[in-house]
Structures are given as structure tokens and as C-alpha cells.
Amino acid sequence: MVMGELTTDVDVAVIGAGPGGYTAAIRAAQLGLETVLIEKALIGGCCTNVGCIPSKALIHAADVKYDSESATARMMGVYDSVKLDFAKTQAWKDRVVKELRDGISTLCRLNGIEVIEGQAFFTSSNTLSVETEAGLRGIKFRNAIIATGTKVRGLGSLPFDHKRIISSDDVFTLAELPKHLLIIGAGYISVEMANLFSKFGSKVTIVHHGDRLLKRMEPEVTELLLKKMREMGIEILFNSEVARLDGNDAVVRTAGSERRVPFDKLLVATGRTPCLEGLGLDKTKVKLDGDGLVVVDAGMRTTDGSIFAVGDIVPGPQLAHKAFRQAKVAAEVIAGKKSAYDNRAMPMVVFSKPEIGSVGLTEEEAAEQGKPVVGRMLYSASGRAKTMGATDGFVKVIAGQDGLILGVHIIGEGAGSVIAEATLAMEMAATLEDLATTIHAHPTMPEALAEAAEDALGRAIDMYRGRKR
């Protein structure tokens, strides 16, 4: 790395230090490229600081409390008096986040990556400037990778005040547990936050303008999720909207009528939007598509040959694991290796109660391509599920007439882990026969995946489907 009077000359400049950014920087450095990583806020990005990691830490803490108080625990003969110290829980979560953030910083240092704190913007297709506390710093690069991620999307009618009207980012700085939490939205953030706070003891109400939760997921999965959330005491108002706020109440309009819903906090969870403003893309040849996302090819190269883009700012689902994979591809392409983002399968996990894991086509989507073959395994027939008192849920496997697996959808204990095997199966173009004849350890939850494949083949052992004559 050569330092001039005003400019640093590097092989790769990475903008954004979230999952895509720090992964791209580390992989580029591993391949011998002089690399700088630029971040305007905290290293680790949204995922580490206000997304995946803190939310799952709080969800786990809520599970510990909820499970110890549950009827299932009492049925097992386990009785406990649980007290929640929410401030201490938040402090524990903060330590988890800090440890991971420090770990990323250490990895960058060990790989010889310079981390620059500041706001980066392009001045040409091969140069950019960074606004730092010490002033402007110039960077001349042979290649750049944009990995700036997303920010919360607000509602114009209910602007954030970060006190009563909050975003998902604000959840992680709450000093007290809200008694009444009102959530707008029905995506995975809304579902996870509703489950989290309900398990902690808040009264939770969801208001959604549509007619179902998680609209892109398998309907059978979301139907069971809705049933279990309502059993937890979560109120869900579909085809509804918050018309106005009146003191400590939200006036919710549903089917032409209005009702008042009390709240301490109103969480707007209507999605996230790409962070591209202020990057100076007009100084480059980078183009955006009709949705405002960066156009890239299979090598993650933009329409400007020296600039790449990965993660939430390019087409596809906003998932950290997508960014991880794309980041490695971009770094490898820059290093001259044959690499492409050509993955067949993209898993998604929702850390609800029960947990959801999903990959590939829904049954309806598969039916558009031909008549699918479908198999199921109910958790109520799983030995491992019974030993945990976790019999709510199922595995659903969808395949083509040739047996090629097209989709797997799981709701229940361990879904987020079991879906990894399904994703690998789809990535390797496995068939129902491959899944069914693979020996699975007993008793475990992944056995349900094999049994669902057996069911699709008409030879399920643990579920009776009638005798063949």
C-alpha cells in the first residue's frame, strides 16, 4: 500500500463493513490484494449491530424465559419462578455484539486490511474520497466493491421520533420492556419482534394492510405460525391500518370500522431500503434497475468494469448469507479467479415460535411448472420432537415428477438448522431418493426431512397413508 501526499493507492476499496463488505475485504486480502475497508458507522454493519445478531440474542433470552414458564415445562415436572431484568438482558446482548464486532476488527487487522472510518463517495470510476474526522482522504483503486446495505424504511404518516414511534434499530436501545407494543407490518422482522416481546411479557398487536403473514412463504407454514402466535396472545389485525394516533391510543381502521389500540411503543417494521445516497454513483458508469438496485452480472461486476456490488443493494432477498456468498465471488473475480454467483438455492429462516426454515419453490410455484410431488412429515410423529415436547410443526418437501427437489419448507423445532441440509440437497441437484436413502442419525430432527422424502415416494414408515393393494 503506497501512501502519497493526499491519496492512498490500493488494489481494492470496499465501501461498507457489514457482512458483504468485511467478507469481501478479508477474501480479497487472502488473495494477496492490497485492500482498504471503509465504514461510516460501526464495523459489522446492520447485521452485527442492529440486525441478525442482537435480535437473535434477545430472541434466545426470551425463549429461555418463555420455555421455563411454559405448560410444556410444567408437564415435564419443571417448575420455576422467572424474573426478567430487561436492562441486564440488553447489556448481555450488547456484550455479544461487541465481542463479534471486535472479532471482525481483529480479523481485518490480521489480514492486513486498513479500516477507514468515514463516508465514502466516488469521484470517478477509479477514485473516491472519504470524509473522515481528520478531513478528506483520497483513495485510488483498481477495483471497488460497494456493500453499503440497507436502512429502515419509515412511513410518511408515522415518522420515527425514536421514542414512541420506533424502528427495529431502536429496539436494541430500549431501557424498559414495553407493556403494550403495536407493530405495523407482517414480514419477518415484524414476526420476530412480535414473538420476542410477547415471550418477554409484552402485550403485542400487529396491524397489517394485507391478509396474511410472510406472504412469500408456503401458506401451510404461515397458517400454523398464525395459529401459534394467536395462542401466545399476539393479536393480529389483517386488512387494517393505523388511521391516526390519539394520545396513548392508535386508532386502527378495519373494514370500515375503527377501534382504539393502546400502546407504549409503536414499531414500524415495513422493510428496509438500499443505502446508495451520497455515494456519487453519477461520477461512475454504475446503473440502477427499476427498483433502484445496482445492476450486476454473475461475477458481481456492475456496468462500470472496475466497480462491483454485493448484498442488499443488488437484486435478490435482503439476507446476510446472500451477501457473504456474493462478497467472496466479487473478491475472487477481482483476483482473476473463475468464480460466479450461480447458486441454485437461497434459504431463509424466521426465528419465530415455532421456528421457520424455507428454501426453493412453494407448492403453488412448483405447480406452475408442472404437477409437483409432495411429501410431509409431521413433528407429532417425530421421536425427537416428542422427547422435547415440541410436536407443533412439520417438514414439507416438494419435488418434480423426476424426483428433483424443488423446495423444502419447515416449521418447528430446529427448522433453521435442518434447512441447511435441504439447501445442500438442492444445490447438488439431489432427488427424493437421495434424501430418503441417506442415513440420518436417530433420534434427531433432520430425520423428518428424510421421512418427508419417503412420504413423497409413497413409502413413509412413521405416518400411515393407507395400505397399497
Give the Cβ contact number of residue 117 at 10 Å.
16
CA distance 160 to 132: 28
Residues 6+ apart with CB under 8 A from 135: none
Contact 12, 142 (CB under 8 A): yes
Alpha-carbon gap, residue 415 to 443, rounded angstroms = 15
Are the C-beta atoms of residues 277 and 122 closer than 8 Å to each other? no
What is the DSSP-derived secondary structure letter of residue 378? E
Residues 6+ apart with CB under 8 A from 110: none
Q: What are phi and psi of 175, to 5 degrees?
A: -85, -25
Grid look-up 490500493 returns: 10
Catalytic residue among 209, 321, 440, 442: 442
What are the backbone dihedrals phi and psi of residue 326, each rounded to the nearest 5 degrees, phi first?
-65, -35
- What is the edge-to-edge ordering of all strands in the sheet holding 257-262? 240-246, 249-254, 257-262
| Residue whose C-alpha cell is 435480535 | 55
The beta-strand segments (E) located in 68-197 are 114-117, 119-122, 127-132, 135-146, 150-152, 165-166, 180-184
* Distances in whole angstroms, Cα of residue 64 to Cα of each of 204, 275, 353: 19, 35, 12
- Sequential DSSP letters for 222-262: HHHHHHHHHHTT-EEE-SEEEEEEETTEEEEEETTEEEEEE
Would residue 60 show up in a list of annotated catalytic residues for this protein? Answer: no
Which active-site residues does the annotation give? Answer: 442
